[in-house]
């Protein structure tokens, strides 16, 4: 360990470095910013992290991140109960909601099938989706997984699981860029993809 750097500083730099997209230099800049910042900046960050871990949970219906169970979307009586959009991550719900077009409900898988990464169907919330479809009156499942190899594999697997239930299965239209992530798509492209979805 570098003797010029106190252990508490090194510890925070290492903690920041474990975050996705944060390298050692950015981690160091963040740490030294917090050292110079007023105490309330660091304590509010610390409190926000504690609240994130103690107050949030998965919705027992759709598995989105929430503080209340069920989540506000699942509790909203104005939402269309006959449609469920299946997305990979909670950030994808945020992306679709930002468009303001879709009025159905969601189901968050928390990942995509990826044998290379050791992620199979049992690691996702697919069984829970099938159970929802067996107990609720759903007319359409909109598969809104990312348009990459993992998203396509996940979409095909879900279609195989859902088809025997007699529920219409659609996929977002190809307005989405291949190989991209849903959370980075602009609102107009996502709106067109939702409007132009077709049956699988």
pLDDT tens digit string along 57-71? 999 999 999 999 999
Residue 190 confidence (pLDDT) above 90: no
Residue indicated by tokens 């492209």: 189
Report the alpha-carbon distance of residue 171 to residue 2 in Å, rounded: 53
Residue 184 confidence (pLDDT) above 90: no
Which domains occur in the chain, in start order? 7-55 (1.10.8.420), 65-199 (3.40.1360.10)
**The two three-digit tokens of residue 198, written as one number:** 């077709």
The C-alpha torsion from 130 through 91 and 64 to 159, rounded to 10°, is: 0
Quick one: average pLDDT of 92-107? Answer: 96
Q: pTM of this prediction? A: 0.82
């Amino acid at each position: 360990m570098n003797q010029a750097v106190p252990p508490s500083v090194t510890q925070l730099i290492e903690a920041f470095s474990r975050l996705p997209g944060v390298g050692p230099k950015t981690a160091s800049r963040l740490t030294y910013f917090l050292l110079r910042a007023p105490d309330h900046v660091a304590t509010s960050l610390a409190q926000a992290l504690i609240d994130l871990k103690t107050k949030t949970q998965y919705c027992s219906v759709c598995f989105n991140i929430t503080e209340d169970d069920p989540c506000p979307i699942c509790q909203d009586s104005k939402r269309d109960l006959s449609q469920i959009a299946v997305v990979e991550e909670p950030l994808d719900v945020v992306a679709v909601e930002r468009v303001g077009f879709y009025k159905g409900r969601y189901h968050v898988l928390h990942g995509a099938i990826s044998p290379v990464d050791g992620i199979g169907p049992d690691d996702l919330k697919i069984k829970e989706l099938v159970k929802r479809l067996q107990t609720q009156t759903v007319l359409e499942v909109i598969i809104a997984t990312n348009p990459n190899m993992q998203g396509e594999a996940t979409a095909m697997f879900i279609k195989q699981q859902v088809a025997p239930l007699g529920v219409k299965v659609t996929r977002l239209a190809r307005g989405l860029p291949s190989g991209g992530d849903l959370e980075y798509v602009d609102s107009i492209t996502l709106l067109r993809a939702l409007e132009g979805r077709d049956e699988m």
